[in-house]
Chains A and B, each alone.
Chain A
């Protein structure tokens, strides 16, 4: 029994079915559904390429399937990490995979006060000091995360390297890209930035309260 015509029909049906998924993929507005439909399209096209022996197409879509799956995994992991961060320590470590490393020598100024802010920095090692306030930033500190959301978009202090170290940086445009591609990320990022802002306000209020509290008499009286 000749089954070649059956294989041909199966191939045509598979291609038509895949076309529906291709159209659906292109109608997606955001990255996660786009990747999901991309994966479904890849699967349908791999399957439909088998009866027609169209192996190059099958091979191409096998590669694309891996790529789409990896990118989807990255995106889901990002959302999960930001969400986890909002609910725990407000850390921004989840940004690390998107950052590029830069070495700094003592005396290097990473940015100046009033300069237009364009990137976010993460201190990996070394010592860094905010010039105007004289505050030294600890390893693990994130600098400039609120600058992206501020209307003026300028640095409020200068940052100088005191002892050689390494920083990671990510441009605001990259974060914007992630934000636009992925609404869930955008939502949690906003919550995280707001939480960090409120945390800063809380710290300032506590510091102000400490300064305005009158010193105890024993502390005020110093020995001669």
Chain B
């Protein structure tokens, strides 16, 4: 009987989600000081999505275990920040957190925590749906120019109906890995890890600064969008050209710090773009002088 149920569960895995709650093993050779960080990451992602997602996290951490240039502190930071970015805040996550808050409320589940109003962009709401459903809608929104329209959503646990609604929203997590947003988040995490790897090869001194760039992207809505745009501006303008050999930047870490210091909540990124242009001009000038002299 168990094997029949197991087969049925496997057949319907895409619809009913994963069945095993067994966390993956820690990567081999993980330093003791990093074990608590990675364990926390695994448990966070088990709660966020499931064991296979936690396994993906472990596989990604494993790439940096024992790698030359990666000390325990850096490995811990990679593990911590990666878990944060892999548990990105979409409406499904907010619903999950709100339900967890209700369960762990000081007065028990009977005392409802305060309501929360999340200010998302329309693209974030639709992007949380599976690709085949979301893509035509996003195309249509793009056509009418409403993709980034702000939308406020109330996350409440005050009534039975609102709790039911949160549970329905949280249950969408089983399709999260098929969503448009997940594809983008996955590409982002891979790009960040790729930049860390390239930094370790080309400018090991800047690797920590590259790792810390993950802190630029936080939350959801406008702040998330701004952080993401700033991150791409810094990586595309400074880090990637340096690793490609197109920009002779001797101290990438200092350049990243300088650029980050100018980043403000400005959708046009005027100050940041100006700072990046100045850093690039200085580096190219210094490079030309070094080549001439």
Contacts and interface: CB of A to CB of B under 8 A. Distances in A.
Contacts of B56: 116
A166 to B, nearest CB: 18
A113 B194 contact: yes
B251 to A, nearest CB: 23
A112 B193 contact: yes
The contact size tier of chain A is: under 10
Contact of A109 (B59, B191, B197): B191
B: interface residue count bin: 10 to 19
A109 B243 CA distance: 15
B19 interface: no
B191 A112 contact: yes
B40 interface: no
Nearest to A152: B59
B19 to A, nearest CB: 19
Interface in B243-285: none
A158 B59 contact: no
B63 interface: yes
A115 interface: yes
B190 interface: yes
A114 interface: yes
B197 A113 contact: yes
Interface string A110-123: 01111110000000
A102 to B, nearest CB: 12
B24 to A, nearest CB: 14
A169 to B, nearest CB: 13
A180 to B, nearest CB: 14
Nearest to B60: A114
6 contacts: A107-B236, A109-B194, A112-B190, A112-B193, A116-B56, A158-B194
Given A111-B190, A112-B193, A115-B190, 15 more contacts: A107-B236, A109-B187, A109-B191, A109-B194, A112-B190, A112-B191, A112-B194, A113-B194, A113-B197, A114-B63, A114-B193, A114-B197, A116-B56, A116-B59, A158-B194
Interface of A: 107, 109, 111-116, 158
Interface of B: 56, 59, 63, 187, 190-191, 193-194, 197, 236
| 5 closest residue pairs by CB, A with B | A112-B194, A112-B190, A114-B63, A115-B190, A158-B194
